[in-house]
Structure 1
Amino acid sequence: MTVGTGEIRVMSYNVRSLRDDREAVVRIVRHCAPDLLCVQEAPRSLRWRHAVARFARECGLVVITGGGTAAGPLLLGGLRVRVRRAQDVLLPRTPGLGQRGMAGAVVEVGGAEFAVAATQLGLDAAERSAHVELVLRRLAGLGVEHRVLAGDFNESAGRPGWDRLAEELQDGYAIAPDGSEFTSPRRDPGRRVDGVFASGGIEVLGCGVPDDVTDAEYAAASDHRPVLAVLRVPAG
């Protein structure tokens, strides 16, 4: 994917707490050169703030919000990004299941203001459907017209949660496929469980797993492959 004037690169990546080949993750992020990196499963245990700050520096980005305070989702941004406000959300926890959350912010890039959020939904279908409604509500609650949601949704198109997101927002890959489709599992992926969604006023120019990274590099880095979306957001 190439980027022209006024275009914004948003990348979604489940990095599995950087437990695999950290240097491979950093190389992939730097290769993709996102303006905004929406991370799932960021480090959130002991000294997690130090860990995410170090990761951001290695990627040439800065921490916007999230990490341990959002139960794993993390927002990082590049030098073009101006942060207006940020908000971390902990979603209602289902007994016996892990805590889920959302890291959101209102940002301005090249004169375009929009809300962006990173999230990861759980493994239980009923919980996912409930959390989708809450995530959409909290994203809209950031109070701006244009919205971008990126995440690991733990289900694919054709399932209730994903399809509900696609009713409210544009499914980036379905609108403008560019690159590979499948993000999971680690080797020989055959499922698209990660994605970037955008509200209707945003033009999706391309979205998918970059196909100029080797399978071996992806497999070394994490058990998910990233999704990179190139967007044009109307300037306010």
Structure 2
Amino acid sequence: MKQQQALTAAVVVGLLAVVATLLALTAQRGSQTAGPTAPTPTVSPAPSGTAPAPTALPAPTATPSGPPTAPPGSPSPVAPDQVCATGAATGPRRLRVLTFNIHAGLGGGRLQLGRVAEEIAATGADVVFLQEVDRFRARSGRTDQPALLAQRLGMEVAFGSNVRHPRGGQYGTAILSRWPIVDQRNLALPNRPGLEQRGLLFAAIDVEGTPLHAYGTHLQHTRGPARLEQMQAALQVIAADPVPKVFAGDFNAGPASAALQVARRYLADPWPVVGDGPGLTVPPRAPRRRIDYVLHDFWSTPVAARTVRSQVSDHIAVQVDLDLRTLPTCLAG
């Protein structure tokens, strides 16, 4: 019980730090303009309804305003007091992460969600970030895809609904985990008229006593400026979070893009260090571009990275092995 209380307290403190930073950013932006103060950021549970309005996050500036994490190669930082492990300190824990745009399980003109589950299971992934996930949509047989995949794989799931369709059903992203998901939220990212709403899905995971915060997204695919705004807004949240974290998804941007240049100011791309091959993920038969990523902070050390082909999706999945560093054990009460 004490271990669970300590973990819950760590997660709550981390979330409060994120919200506090958002409030500070909003207040700062309001003080620099003659208009009314920007609305207070809001957070809503991921599975229910649509994501909050785009104003839930502060408007991005020309450069990210959140505190950057230490760049790759920097000395390991001392853990903040509020970030504690409740389990025994046994050394780094190996973590296999997968990001996979599943194309709603639609391949060859038919629904193949079972095949998607088999492809995920074959990787042995511990945490899985999914994009283009349907929930109760007609095109995918009104199935609850996040729940079905979680049941098939024996994993827990967080779902972020970013779009509600007029004919019923939802569309968004999901995070699957072999370990308990103790909290989840979905935040709307900045949007422009006529574009599909995008979101930042958050899941707090208890990795046998060590807290891990997973952030997943699927960024705008047609307009670079909108995509950059979404990346900047996501990183304002992520950079303010002191808990060990992983950020992954379909970023729809190449390694040399402005969006990835910004992301690398805060998080590390393991591919140049341990990647097998060029890491190209689209199109699936003759890939020419790398747009799907797993990024990590300085709490993790990359061990291996490879791409995983799919017989269903129009994306190639990305698998990364990380060593999650041991955190100090905090005494509870």
The TM-score normalised by the length of structure 1 is 0.86
1:56 to 143, 147, 150: 150
Shift of 1:119: 0.3
Task: Tell me the equivalent position of 1:89.
Answer: 187
Instruction: Report the AA paired with residue 51 of structure 1.
Output: Q
Give, in whole Å, the separation in 2 of the partners of 1:26 and 1:186: 18
What is the RMSD of the two structures over their aligned residues, measured on CA atoms?
Answer: 2.3
Counterpart secondary structure, 1:204: strand
1:8 aligns with 2:95: yes
CA contact (8 A) 1:30 1:60 kept: no
Give, in whole Å, the separation in 2 of the partners of 1:132 and 1:200: 19
CA contact (8 A) 2:216 2:249 kept: yes
Unaligned runs of 5+ in 1: none
Give, in whole Å, the separation in 2 of the partners of 1:171 and 1:165: 9
1:32 aligns with 2:123: yes
Query: Structure 1 runs of 4+ off > 6 angstroms?
Result: none
Give, in whole Å, the separation in 1 of the partners of 2:285 and 2:180: 37
CA contact (8 A) 2:129 2:216 kept: yes
The TM-score normalised by the length of structure 2 is 0.62
Give, in whole Å, the separation in 1 of the partners of 2:201 and 2:224: 21
CA contact (8 A) 1:114 1:144 kept: no
Q: After the TM superposition, which of the residue ranges 95-104 and 131-140 deviates more from structure 2?
A: 131-140
Alpha carbons of structure 1 residues 84 and 179: separation in structure 2 relative to 1, 3 Å:
farther
Question: Which digits, 9 at most, give the CA deviation of each residue in 1:32-80, with x for residues without a partner?
Answer: 11111100111145387723211221233221342457951111111xx
Counterpart secondary structure, 1:98: coil
Task: Tell me the equivalent position of 1:129.
Answer: 228
1:232 aligns with 2:323: yes
Give, in whole Å, the separation in 1 of the partners of 2:162 and 2:147: 12
Shift of 1:94: 1.0
2:205 to 100, 103, 107: 107
Q: How many residues align?
A: 223
2:294 to 188, 196, 201: 196
Identity of paired residues, percent? 25
Alpha carbons of structure 1 residues 54 and 84: separation in structure 2 relative to 1, 3 Å:
closer
Give, in whole Å, the separation in 2 of the partners of 1:204 and 1:111: 21
Give, in whole Å, the separation in 1 of the partners of 2:202 and 2:279: 25
CA contact (8 A) 1:111 1:235 kept: no
Task: Tell me the equivalent position of 2:174.
Answer: 74
Give, in whole Å, the separation in 1 of the partners of 2:232 and 2:123: 30
Alpha carbons of structure 1 residues 133 and 5: separation in structure 2 relative to 1, 3 Å:
closer
1:176 aligns with 2:274: yes
Alpha carbons of structure 1 residues 235 and 49: separation in structure 2 relative to 1, 3 Å:
farther
Counterpart secondary structure, 1:96: coil
Counterpart secondary structure, 2:271: helix
Instruction: Report the AA paired with residue 226 of structure 1.
Output: A
CA contact (8 A) 2:92 2:325 kept: no
